[in-house]
Structure 1
Amino acid sequence: MDNGNGGFSVCIIASMFDIGVDELDVDQTLDRAAASRARIAADEAESLLLALHYTDLNATVAPPPGGEIVPGVERLRVYGGEGCPPIAEFCAQEFGWRLGMSHGAAAAYLGEALALRHRFPKILAQVLAGNAEAWRARSIARTCLSLSLAAAGIVDAKIHAIINTVTPSRLKVFVKAAKMQADPAKAQADADLYARQRGVWLGQSNDHGTKSVIARTATGDAIRFDAAVDELAEIMAQEGEPGSHQQLRAKAVGLLADPAVALELREHGRRKARKNATPDAAAHHSNDDGEYGEYGEGGSGGESDAYGTDRDDGEGGECGECGEGDSGGEGDAYGTESDSAVDVPLDQLLAGLKARNPNRTRAPHPFYVRISQEALASGDGVAWVEGIGPLLVSQLKELIGHEAVVLKPVIDLREHRSADDYVVPQRIREWVKLRYPTPMEPWSTGETTFSTDLDHVVPYDKNGPPGQTSTRNLLPVTRTPHRAKTHGGLRNALLPDGSVEWTTPRGARYLVDDNGTRYLGQVNLTTGELTPPPRHRGAAPADMNTSKTAGKAAVGMSGKKAGKNCPSRTGLGAGELPDDIA
């Protein structure tokens, strides 16, 4: 069975067992594995040479028709850093798609190959001599992209002899040191830039309803946040919440998303600690230095706590105009809490805290959830959440947060929408975003957002019929392929089932659908005849490249059949036409 990419088939995997692997002893197995690794290294070195030759073949850009330079036309770009020759911008797209890469990944690969030849010749020589693996060399070129040509030469001289003799982690350290020695001023500038690159991000991957949060912030803020998370985790542990300390810290992060409840839970924990404390313990938690426990917070000296609020133990937790506590310190930010309330279970406590402040606000966040009627009714099954991926239906409650849920009408993707204007209305943009979660171009790696380019497959004609801006004629694509379609001879066609055929200027054809990308072969741009890709060491299955869309008329250039050599010119479907799209 073929993998759909014109590559190896399962029969090749089976044929591997015909070489007598089962008969090898330990030493022979090790020798064979090492030889296999060496062949891979040789193939990677050959790929670098082919990439370099490809860039040499694309060192110029043909002048635009009529000689008129308009925004968005193809231009020469330097991808590998100072000292590398420029190459035709759109050539990376053709190279990458043929190798199963996105345009960005291909541009980076070609740039790294050029950098090795023009900036790190000694390292490249090690790769071509079989003394170093290509991926290690490329990582050095990538790491040193911002260095000057002279500084890159210093790194080349210092690193080439050890590139394959140390582990990747140690190599990374040596490269970092060599960069600092080669250009101290640049190293200092990079350090300053890194300090300015602060922010908070969500990780891209999602594992069974668990997602990573990555924060880069000031050291002091990080320490105070860590202390706040730790304190809430300890309070939950004292209330009998199950889980390890780290699991409770993760739950504490969720509580911090509701600052009012987090603040009240912290005050509850402190009141309970004071109630249960012995005189010696009470003295420890409220001493003459104004420190509170081990965090140095909120003692009689009025120190600022982890939440940035000034508190005194003798005061009743004032919070603006929300109310005042009594002098005994038993008041909270949203009313008073009796001694008996201190001992309620944690789930009841949190419910009560939320109920006492029904008007508290949380930042709204929309979730687009795809779920079948059967799964919704039964509570079992899988739902798809935009930006997260598949979740069990039972995990939706944890995701949404149990409360303040505003249900919006279901967007039925079977109902198409259209507009008469060139500009895409929000209701149509939302439909396209939900129908196509990723840009519909070969090997796309991103997600469709509200700012993704929308391509009018059949170009918008201001003198044409109404309804041209339609969900039947719009596709999300990233900027470079969009420009290549407008100015570089790239073509696409939208098939009746929603899949898309792309044909590059050199006739390579790809099918993009909900299952990914498949290389269909080469098209004769004159006759439209499609030649399937060659088979590799295995018989092609009978149904190879006979997709259900083959032979069907497609929405494409001038409404012609897919595969004809039709000129194209598209619109963006955005609020304004960017400068680099004509």
Structure 2
Amino acid sequence: MLITDPRGEPVELDELDGDASLSVLADLKIQGRAVDREKLRVVHHWCVLHPATRESGVATFDPSHLPGVLYAQESLGGEGCPPVAAFTPEPLATTLGVSQHTIRQLLADTLDLHHRLPRCWKRVEALEVDVWKARRVAQLTHPLSQAAAAQVDAALAPVLHSCSVAAIERAVAAAVAAHHPELVAEREKKGKDAWDVTLAHDTASEFADTSYLDVTGDTLDLSAFYDRIGQIAADLADAGDEDPLGARKAKALGVLARQGIDGAEADLLSLIGTGDRQPAARPARTRKPKTHLYLHLSLLELLGLGADDDLVCGEAEKLGPVLLEVIRDWVGHSDSTITPVLDLDRSWSVDGHDVPATMREQVILRDRHCVFPYCHTDARSCDLDHIGPYVPLDEGGAPGQTNPENLAPLCRRHHRCKTSGRWRYRRRPDDGSYEWSGSYGRSYLVTPFGTLDLHTN
């Protein structure tokens, strides 16, 4: 089978070695980016050819809420983008064979990239970033101010090609908290409007006794409810129930439904049919839910002594920006764990191999995810790897080998990959990024937001 190599020459696919195969794939990736980039260039030129005037009116993103009105005085692009004439999208939509919504989104993304996200657009122009990823940034920053969009642009542009969607969303969330706390309040309201409990019976399933319960509600309430389910599932295991954990958690719902929270334990034995077998004694448990938040705000703000504006945001790990009033409510109605702010730059060490809990927390909060190139596994799910292999003291190892500078979070798969010797890496002490070297001479730099490819042909 013939395939075109990076020089444009036909070559037999079976004749490609490993390095050549990777080079062909890299070239095809660039070709795909070039096609998508040319489309955005033409779409932007189309916008330039059709500026909005008093006579033409303005093309809007979605005028469907204005029956009988041809246009509204708002632009397809976000704040700072030039408006385009009404009905500009239609010829493009028919030419490309896409819906009006799709073409309006394409026009809006193109305008935002050119006028609000110039750094990201520059990387698209240079064929360094996939267009879909740049468009994702444009869509998430579209309702934000120019200042907020500029913050995201500066943070993501250098590493956008390697960012996960989660990393993009984190950067946008940081900009929202800094520039638009009112949007956090609006998000909380919209979230409550969507709260619901639904029950679905799968009539097509062969399991007549299986249904599906879907719940969307208050984070604190659902966390407390989930913890309670876990407690009952553990009690069932103590009483002899040998079903898998998931099945026992589902049974716990039945326990709560039949007996209520206060009388749940009384139903355990009848549910699993263990006769006079008694569950292991457990200490009395509080009914208050547990809350563990990492708050990036001062104690004065938390107490309401240092903030003049009610729209102050903190950050809850894995949840993103949260209004201060919501945080106060959580803390006031739960058993809260206050974690002192850690100095992420603290330099200290221990002689043993095992990592102290405080040091582990420091490394997790510092790096946040697996530091292998292009991996974004949450650091709490990772192993802590000794970058320089640990050598026991009684075998000639130096003291203090376990220290934050010599530790990094790696998911289990990439920990094994590194241990196998296929990859090597080091941590840069100046900025905390990670340099990796792998097969076929490829090298990478992992930063907090993404990965830079250091390989040169």
TM-score for the superposition, normalised by structure 1:
0.37
Q: Could you say which structure has the greater relative contact order, defined with CA pairs below 8 angstroms and 6 or more residues apart?
A: 1
More helix, by proportion:
2
Rg larger in structure: 1
